[in-house]
Structure 1
């Protein structure tokens, strides 16, 4: 990886600045607070975005500005890459906006997390860093602030080991052991639960054996009861059959007696009916003779009489219509007479015409009187003629009415004769019916007497002993009670057997569950033993082997870099198995606290360079092996130690090395210089050579 250019926009003390980075060794030089660390943080922000607590929006965006951004140009192998991240101040916080990445002129607009994912892929860093807040590999292979390096060197043992596990990517072994410990603890709980679940299984098995014995005994009793109930049932059925057969005989006897009583009743009823019929027959004969004498010699043709009556009614209707017509004509003539008389009287009393007011002369009056007289004479003559005609019509109507009444009387008389004839016919039919019924009743009486005779004969042959029937009923009752007693006892044993079966099933289920719990316990116990006695030691062994391999390489490199920086045969360094630096002076171990400031810095730098090389060798996918940033690596160095730094730079021999320092003596050790100046709270590149 090679950094080519960094463009800053409102980032901390930089307002707008472009910084070009050549290949080889580069010295970022400037006074304390001039803005050197800002460049390093901007590179890290461009690559990975915010890092909680360490790299936030408030530490990057220039005070008083609403927007800012970082654009980083770099190369990985043959790929030319530009990444742009932007910042925006809101009411509550400073947020990352969406940015973009250009790879070989192909632009992709991405969210901050998508940019980070893409960069991790390009740098060859593990994918699990995407969800972590600290990019441990970058921080300990490319850029480690000097204070962070001193922190790992001087940290307590467990903290140092945790950091190194994370840096080396082997913290998974610790997580596995921790998770395994949790799992074993939970397994122990499950084992305890299953152990408690199968306790008391032997007692249940004994209880089951006793129950099965009781169940077997109950089944034997039930078989005996089944046999006894069968025998008792057969005896009851036999007794019941005897009782029913004898009851049937008695029922037949009683039935015969009842039938004889019914026959006697029917005979009496029929004889009574025969007596009544005989009286009816005598009465009907007398009545028929009397009614026949009434109609003897009397006959009328009702059809002719009805026709004649219809003709009379037609004539009567015609005469009535003619009378009505003449009466209307007579009324008209009377009206004319009255109108003429009124006109004659009125004309005699007027002198002038009421309509035209002209004088009415005597001649005109005379003419009107003559005309009225003619009308009166003619109308009077008509009335006379009409009266004569009406008189004749009234006479004829009177004659016709008398004839109609006489004819109607004859018709009515004829109908009365028909009623009498019908009555005679009905009585003759009824008489025949009475005679037929009497004959039938006589036959029925004979048949009933024969039946009575037969039943009486059969009755004398029937056996009828009430005491025997009572004895049979008593025996049947005793047999039934015995049978019911056996049935009840059988039902009790069946219920008992059923309960035994249910209890047996319940116990078996409980025992099976306990057996299953025991199997689970044994499986868990076996599993627990394997994990605790084999798996856990195996993980620890693997971790120790991996850490041992790292240890030997790390120890060798630490000694190499320390010996380059400290040219003193009597002072040496090594690490123990917890990666704690151990110093020996004049053959005696000494603590870091007894070293000078420059020597402490030399320990931290040696640890840093050894760590860098070990990680690069361990993780072969990393694409940042040829890029390194050293932050204030010479703090407290003497002049002799500064000279040794030149040898370190040569020994590193990487494509791009950025050293941040305010020490001017380093200028002669590097190929390129970037001088940073700050004025009025604003940083800028003073020179680049």
Structure 2
């Protein structure tokens, strides 16, 4: 039961103190006068909860000069539970931050010490602060004391505007949902969802331990085993087929090896035969080439020696002629020298003679008379003689040129003689050997060459070789070839090569078959290993799956809204509400004796009983509807724990009622509390319908008014 409320700077209340007593307490006043703030102050003090979103919005605003917001805001609430009395205090600063929160319990007379805390009674501190991380919280302690959370108080102790008539006016399906929420089945839904999370976490843990598998994969894993077994069977069949092929191919390969082994020595001889035939053919080619070289060399020698001998036949004549020409050149050169000297003298005389010429019979020097000149100084004579000498010199020069040319020709012949002698020396020609003997040798070589050249073959394969025995070496080779031909007469090299090619192909086929066998064997081993591991995995999952199934059953039966537990809780709640509502409706004395809540698959119907028997809610009078609604609400409050909190707050319970129903409502609650038959000690009504309480027997009526100093509260 609420004893006292002190509000300081809280919403519109700058400083308000309210004392509460057993019975009915009514708050009247216009909208905005601060009535509903009382509900926020109660929930704020108890649970740090309210309808104003932020704590900062709880501070009084707009009353400058009358309040000091710097001190923040606080609420103090005294309440009792049974015989225990408590005081809860909560204070915030100007920013809405929590400054302090504490819960104190009144010390009983026999236990009270001499130390007194407070003005009237002594209190001991139960808890202080909201250190939730340390498990120390005023809210948690209040919940323990009241055995009720904020959410539960909203359902059981505070009936908001419109909730009173909502019960009886709502559709049966809506009423069932409302009842589910009232008795906490919505939280059971949360538990149902949370249980799903727990199961999924359990599955997650299972998946972490099993490589990503849980009970949902069992069908897939069993199918995998079945599929693996089918694959193993198919792989074994394929392996059997491969092994048969391996056996057949191995036999074929062995047969080819034997055939090749028989043919191989003969093939070696055949190869040796081909080598000898090639050697013989190459021998004839080489012999032909060497004879040709020897013929060319001997022919060249004979030709050069003959030419040299021809040159040397005139050797003595050439050498003598060279000496004679050389002597003649010397004579001609001497004569040319002499003639050149004479010509020089004559030219000198010509110059002197020209100076000694007589003009008019007188000497050009002494001017004496001269009858004649010496022939020596006769210019004409000198000129004639000079002309003769020059002509002779020209003739001699021409003769010298001829001798030089002749000498050059002779020098060439001399060089040819030297070259011929060198040729004779180089060829080491013996003059005693006639050149004809060399020509005979050349003839024989040419004859041998022609014989060998005609024998040079393109190929000696299957060629009769008796004609090829031209010398000892070729005869020896041909004899060997003949012997080998006898040994390999029935050998087919193409067949041998074909068998080798076939062997390689068969060998490759065998290798591929062994690869296929290895792949199939590994596949079988892997599948068997995987199957074994999957079997083990299934066993593990199945053992855990049974536990998960149990959890799912618990979730379905205990936490499912339509499960056994939920249905039992709902049945219990409906029976208790029906029982208590029936008791209250009898107290209200409106002609009804029993109220029953009946559950159907998706709805809960309200059925009333009176003197006329069963009465449908649609046919109830206005007063009866108010009485039934209040009786059910009180029954719900009793169910939700109102017997412990011992109070209920009705916010605007008459808002949607007509005049007759409002009066009926006031009369019912007045009669109940005056007669002492109320199930509660305290009923707090918040309403703006002041007039309906004017002639009532309710004594505790507070009027709320808004002033410039904030909300003003006075008893009337």
Pairs within 5 Å for 1:122-137 = 137=152
Q: What TM-score results when the alignment is normalised by the length of structure 2?
A: 0.50
**Counterpart for residue 267 of structure 2:** 243
Whether the aligned pair in 1 keeps the contact of 2:301 and 2:427 (CA below 8 Å) is yes
Q: Distance in 2 between matches of 1:526 and 1:459?
A: 97
Whether the aligned pair in 1 keeps the contact of 2:594 and 2:608 (CA below 8 Å) is yes
1:585 aligns with 2:610: yes
**Counterpart for residue 628 of structure 1:** 649
Distance 1:584 1:22, change over 3 A: farther
1:688 aligns with 2:709: no
Whether the aligned pair in 2 keeps the contact of 1:195 and 1:518 (CA below 8 Å) is no
Whether the aligned pair in 2 keeps the contact of 1:632 and 1:660 (CA below 8 Å) is no
Q: Distance in 2 between matches of 1:49 and 1:152?
A: 26
Whether the aligned pair in 1 keeps the contact of 2:581 and 2:635 (CA below 8 Å) is yes
**Counterpart for residue 373 of structure 2:** none
**Counterpart for residue 670 of structure 2:** 642
Q: Distance in 1 between matches of 2:683 and 2:160?
A: 21
**What CA RMSD, in Å, does the superposition of the two structures yield over aligned residues?**
6.5
| Deviation, structure 1 residue 202 | 7.7
Q: What TM-score results when the alignment is normalised by the length of structure 1?
A: 0.51
Distance 1:548 1:567, change over 3 A: same
223-232 vs 548-557, greater mean Cα deviation: 548-557
Whether the aligned pair in 2 keeps the contact of 1:136 and 1:166 (CA below 8 Å) is no
Distance 1:612 1:125, change over 3 A: farther
1:455 aligns with 2:473: yes
Whether the aligned pair in 1 keeps the contact of 2:617 and 2:625 (CA below 8 Å) is yes
| Deviation, structure 1 residue 266 | 1.6
| Deviation, structure 1 residue 455 | 0.8
Whether the aligned pair in 1 keeps the contact of 2:91 and 2:98 (CA below 8 Å) is yes
Whether the aligned pair in 2 keeps the contact of 1:626 and 1:655 (CA below 8 Å) is yes
Q: 1:78 aligns with which of 89, 93, 98?
A: 89
**Counterpart for residue 543 of structure 1:** 566
Whether the aligned pair in 2 keeps the contact of 1:247 and 1:469 (CA below 8 Å) is no
Q: Distance in 2 between matches of 1:37 and 1:220?
A: 103
Pairs within 5 Å for 1:419-438 = 433-435=426-428
| Deviation, structure 1 residue 164 | 2.8
Q: Distance in 2 between matches of 1:125 and 1:23?
A: 24
SS of 2:491's partner is helix
Pairs within 5 Å for 1:143-182 = 143-174=158-189
247-256 vs 646-655, greater mean Cα deviation: 646-655
| Cα shift readout 1:446-475 (whole Å, capped 9, x = no counterpart) | xx99x984414413532427975874333x
Q: Distance in 1 between matches of 2:37 and 2:235?
A: 83
SS of 2:91's partner is strand
Pairs within 5 Å for 1:168-207 = 168-174=183-189
Q: Distance in 1 between matches of 2:151 and 2:176?
A: 13
1:601 aligns with 2:626: yes
Whether the aligned pair in 2 keeps the contact of 1:211 and 1:500 (CA below 8 Å) is no
Structure with the largest fraction of helix: 1
Distance 1:554 1:81, change over 3 A: farther
SS of 2:36's partner is helix
SS of 1:23's partner is strand
| Deviation, structure 1 residue 242 | 0.8
Q: Distance in 1 between matches of 2:162 and 2:152?
A: 17
Whether the aligned pair in 1 keeps the contact of 2:273 and 2:481 (CA below 8 Å) is yes
**Counterpart for residue 96 of structure 1:** none
161-170 vs 642-651, greater mean Cα deviation: 642-651
**Counterpart for residue 279 of structure 2:** 255
Distance 1:549 1:79, change over 3 A: farther
| Deviation, structure 1 residue 194 | 8.8
Q: Distance in 2 between matches of 1:561 and 1:603?
A: 9
Pairs within 5 Å for 1:205-224 = 209=233, 212-213=236-237, 215-224=239-248
Distance 1:37 1:165, change over 3 A: farther
Q: Distance in 2 between matches of 1:672 and 1:292?
A: 179
Q: Distance in 2 between matches of 1:667 and 1:103?
A: 42
Q: 2:301 aligns with which of 260, 263, 277?
A: 277
Gaps of 5+ in 2: 42-48, 55-71, 78-87, 102-136, 143-149, 204-213, 327-400, 450-468, 655-660
Q: Distance in 1 between matches of 2:507 and 2:293?
A: 61
Q: Distance in 1 between matches of 2:284 and 2:712?
A: 153
600-609 vs 203-212, greater mean Cα deviation: 203-212
| Cα shift readout 1:518-552 (whole Å, capped 9, x = no counterpart) | 99899699799657766523432332454466557
Q: Distance in 1 between matches of 2:28 and 2:486?
A: 142
Pairs within 5 Å for 1:152-551 = 152-174=167-189, 209=233, 212-213=236-237, 215-256=239-280, 258-281=282-305, 283-284=307-308, 433-435=426-428, 453-459=471-477, 461-464=479-482, 468=486, 471-474=489-492, 476-478=493-495, 535-539=555-559, 540-547=563-570, 550=573
| Cα shift readout 1:301-347 (whole Å, capped 9, x = no counterpart) | xxxxxxxxxxxxxxxxxxxxxxxxxxxxxxxxxxxxxxxxxxxxxxx
| Deviation, structure 1 residue 674 | 1.4
Whether the aligned pair in 2 keeps the contact of 1:149 and 1:604 (CA below 8 Å) is yes
451-460 vs 519-528, greater mean Cα deviation: 519-528
Distance 1:81 1:617, change over 3 A: farther
| Cα shift readout 1:92-146 (whole Å, capped 9, x = no counterpart) | xxxxxxxx5243389xxxxxxxxxxxxxx987799xxxxxxxx965642454345
| Deviation, structure 1 residue 162 | 2.0
1:27 aligns with 2:15: no
Q: Distance in 1 between matches of 2:100 and 2:547?
A: 57
| Deviation, structure 1 residue 245 | 1.2
| Deviation, structure 1 residue 157 | 3.9
**Counterpart for residue 693 of structure 2:** 664
Q: Distance in 1 between matches of 2:224 and 2:667?
A: 83
Q: Distance in 2 between matches of 1:533 and 1:105?
A: 46
| Deviation, structure 1 residue 251 | 3.4
SS of 1:152's partner is helix
Distance 1:517 1:534, change over 3 A: farther
Q: Distance in 1 between matches of 2:688 and 2:638?
A: 20
| Deviation, structure 1 residue 509 | 9.6
Whether the aligned pair in 2 keeps the contact of 1:243 and 1:472 (CA below 8 Å) is no
Distance 1:503 1:229, change over 3 A: closer
Q: Distance in 2 between matches of 1:169 and 1:72?
A: 33
Whether the aligned pair in 2 keeps the contact of 1:676 and 1:685 (CA below 8 Å) is yes
Whether the aligned pair in 1 keeps the contact of 2:74 and 2:89 (CA below 8 Å) is no
1:104 aligns with 2:99: yes
Q: Distance in 2 between matches of 1:593 and 1:287?
A: 166
Q: How many residues align?
A: 489
Whether the aligned pair in 2 keeps the contact of 1:572 and 1:585 (CA below 8 Å) is yes
Distance 1:671 1:221, change over 3 A: closer
| Deviation, structure 1 residue 644 | 2.4
| Cα shift readout 1:236-278 (whole Å, capped 9, x = no counterpart) | 2431431331342353145235414532542343143134224
Q: Distance in 1 between matches of 2:714 and 2:225?
A: 88
Q: 2:36 aligns with which of 34, 40, 43?
A: 40
Whether the aligned pair in 2 keeps the contact of 1:629 and 1:657 (CA below 8 Å) is yes
